[in-house]
A and B are shown apart, each in its own frame.
Chain A
């Protein structure tokens, strides 16, 4: 975010109210703007409505939300157009199906297309194959390309899910707990990749995180949800204060700064 962004740049959601049955899960939430070229975190305890907010922004649950991307209204678009621009990556891992990883990525690209059954030539799928291979290489898993999804570990499937999402090349990525099944190395590696991709292609990336230290040091902007309401949003160091952590996460915690300027949350106990 070098030059000052126009006020409309990025993804904004206003007046998001979602109810499941009679239960109101999100109450008039306003979130954003999540700026292009940045990586933003959506934080909050379990059940606070993070997934629901992401689904509402992606148009996957009925809501009264007004969602705009770079000033353009998304709400009126068809599901196909909308998901092509703003892609939600669900919290659940991709199912363990008997399908090679490469094909899982190709299918994710071709969903809306008519299939050519029984064609041995991959010419019609060439661009899908190309972007699938690029995406697998980006996440460092080309060696999994020909392995079946039902022979992968959970973490590997999560990487495949991420590769699927990025191979579609949307402008906006809403990633729901994309690090949940990853080891320490891959958590940081994926954050690195997302930051680089976001800068390189001016993507809007919003992700749900539970690791506050990653949020503090590797994101540009955080939004905190609590009981279906937005309670804070802004730069991570300004938002994640001991008061907020006690209020929202119900822990006694301090935010400390290491010698190299990196911040970390140190938890003393539960409140």
Chain B
């Protein structure tokens, strides 16, 4: 009868003191911060690598010189660094972070480890939107030419999340209903895109196929800026909801009984996810793997306290996509392979090496 009376005389020797528990928890928090710092450092290295590799390989010294004193270098070098390399490298980081965060929030609010912008139809909807512009020439009025495809993709992607939200609010709907509906959306939009491909002219077909492969080469500064601004707007709300989301992970009914307004938390998360992921996929096309696996990597490395899990998912996503961008340049010299193709190839070994490790927090 000792187990429940640790203050009694026959206290089991394995029971730690409260001070020890506090110290262990402090150490865990510090360890998580250092893991986040390592991920951040790895992203910086990867971005540098992304810069210095490639057809017109510049040395790091030349690179830094070009970044710091752009007016003193030849125009060709300046354009390569400032108009091509830098936006690509930053776009990889921003898109990876956006998809990582979106996947993490989706997996939490839908209580499903397979949820992500890709598996629930956001990417497929974006592809359908792009196909409307590329094949049928349908697009939103008033947009400049370079934004037509992204504009369509964005509208369709947002629309698909809106449909998920509507289904989630139907009577008798459960989270599994939403996930199933999302998977149905994937197939529906894929079928519609196939139909577009079937009807497309040869040129349009080529454009469409290339778009769906997912590529960073469509990056421009305004797009990077818009995505970063959206992130700056949305991410604080995600982080602020961290405790509610952590509680939600322990069960919907439990969260509600602890005072979490579950429908409101869900709806807020879905709104954030729709804005971030729709913008990301509309700029780069279908890059599937990141949003699915970055949360799993973060969960394994950091646990599911959303104060760390959410930023961890962003960093893991950014790192995978940045490494993919590097690989896309390196695989075939002189050719930049569409990033969407490379992502899974790069991500899977990374994913397996972390997820198959021994479990445990300390």
Q: CB within 8 Å of B: which residues of A?
A: 58, 60, 79-80, 82-84, 87-90, 92, 94-95, 97-100, 102-104, 107-108, 110-120, 122, 129, 133, 137, 139-140, 142-143, 145-151, 161, 164, 168, 185-186, 189, 192-193
Question: How close is A164's CB to chain B, nearest CB, in angstroms?
Answer: 8
Instruction: Give the CA-CA distance A193 to B4 in the complex, in Å.
Output: 9
| Cross-chain contact B259 with A84 (CB below 8 angstroms) | yes
Select one of A58, A79, A108, A117 contacting B247, CB under 8 A: A108
| Cross-chain contact A146 with B361 (CB below 8 angstroms) | yes
Q: B362 within 8 Å of A by Cβ?
A: yes
**Knowing A108-B258, A133-B18, A148-B360 touch, does A116 contact B305 (C-beta < 8 A)?**
no
**Knowing A111-B255, A111-B260 touch, does A142 contact B18 (C-beta < 8 A)?**
yes
Residues of A within 8 A of B249 (CB): 95, 97, 99
| Cross-chain contact B4 with A186 (CB below 8 angstroms) | yes
**Knowing A119-B307, A151-B359 touch, does A142 contact B6 (C-beta < 8 A)?**
yes
Question: How close is B21's CB to chain A, nearest CB, in angstroms?
Answer: 5
Q: B147 within 8 Å of A by Cβ?
A: no
Residues of B within 8 A of A100 (CB): 25, 28, 303, 361
Q: CB within 8 Å of A: which residues of B?
A: 1, 3-7, 12, 14-16, 18, 21-22, 24-26, 28-30, 33, 36, 239-244, 246-247, 249-251, 253-261, 299-300, 303-308, 310-311, 359-362
Instruction: Give the CA-CA distance A115 to B241 in the complex, in Å.
Output: 7
12 extra A-B contacts, CB within 8 A, seeds A90-B253, A117-B242, A120-B30: A79-B256, A84-B259, A88-B257, A104-B250, A110-B243, A117-B311, A133-B21, A143-B12, A148-B361, A150-B359, A168-B258, A189-B4
| Cross-chain contact B240 with A115 (CB below 8 angstroms) | yes
Nearest opposing residue in chain A for B111, CB measure: A95
**Knowing A92-B254, A129-B22 touch, does A137 contact B6 (C-beta < 8 A)?**
yes
Question: How close is A256's CB to chain B, nearest CB, in angstroms?
Answer: 26
Instruction: Give the CA-CA distance A142 to B21 in the complex, in Å.
Output: 8
| Cross-chain contact B299 with A98 (CB below 8 angstroms) | yes
Question: How close is B18's CB to chain A, nearest CB, in angstroms?
Answer: 5
Q: How many A-B residue pairs have CB under 8 A?
A: 161
Instruction: Give the CA-CA distance A80 to B26 in the complex, in Å.
Output: 29
Select one of A103, A142, A146 contacting B362, CB under 8 A: A146
Nearest opposing residue in chain A for B25, CB measure: A102
Residues of A within 8 A of B311 (CB): 117-118
Residues of A within 8 A of B242 (CB): 115, 117
Instruction: Give the CA-CA distance A133 to B6 in the complex, in Å.
Output: 13
Question: How close is A102's CB to chain B, nearest CB, in angstroms?
Answer: 6
| Cross-chain contact B307 with A111 (CB below 8 angstroms) | no
Select one of A83, A129, A151 contacting B258, CB under 8 A: A83
Select one of B16, B243, B255 contacting A113, CB under 8 A: B243
Instruction: Give the CA-CA distance A214 to B3 in the complex, in Å.
Output: 20
**Knowing A115-B242, A120-B30 touch, does A79 contact B261 (C-beta < 8 A)?**
yes
Instruction: Give the CA-CA distance A60 to B299 in the complex, in Å.
Output: 30
| Cross-chain contact B1 with A90 (CB below 8 angstroms) | no
Residues of B within 8 A of A113 (CB): 243
Nearest opposing residue in chain A for B6, CB measure: A140
| Cross-chain contact B250 with A146 (CB below 8 angstroms) | no
Instruction: Give the CA-CA distance A268 to B29 in the complex, in Å.
Output: 57
Select one of B1, B241, B299, B304 contacting A185, CB under 8 A: B1
Instruction: Give the CA-CA distance A129 to B25 in the complex, in Å.
Output: 10
| Cross-chain contact B255 with A140 (CB below 8 angstroms) | no
Question: How close is B124's CB to chain A, nearest CB, in angstroms?
Answer: 30
**Knowing A90-B254, A95-B249, A118-B308 touch, does A79 contact B259 (C-beta < 8 A)?**
yes
Question: How close is A254's CB to chain B, nearest CB, in angstroms?
Answer: 30
Residues of A within 8 A of B247 (CB): 107-108, 111
Question: How close is A172's CB to chain B, nearest CB, in angstroms?
Answer: 12
| Cross-chain contact A114 with B240 (CB below 8 angstroms) | yes
Residues of B within 8 A of A104 (CB): 250
Could you pull out 15 A-B pairs where Cβ atoms are within 8 angstroms?
Answer: A60-B253, A80-B259, A90-B257, A92-B253, A97-B250, A97-B304, A99-B250, A103-B25, A111-B247, A111-B255, A113-B243, A115-B307, A142-B18, A148-B360, A185-B1
**Knowing A79-B259, A108-B258 touch, does A94 contact B30 (C-beta < 8 A)?**
no
Select one of B7, B261, B299, B305 contacting A107, CB under 8 A: B305
Residues of B within 8 A of A82 (CB): 259
Residues of A within 8 A of B310 (CB): 117
Question: How close is B195's CB to chain A, nearest CB, in angstroms?
Answer: 39
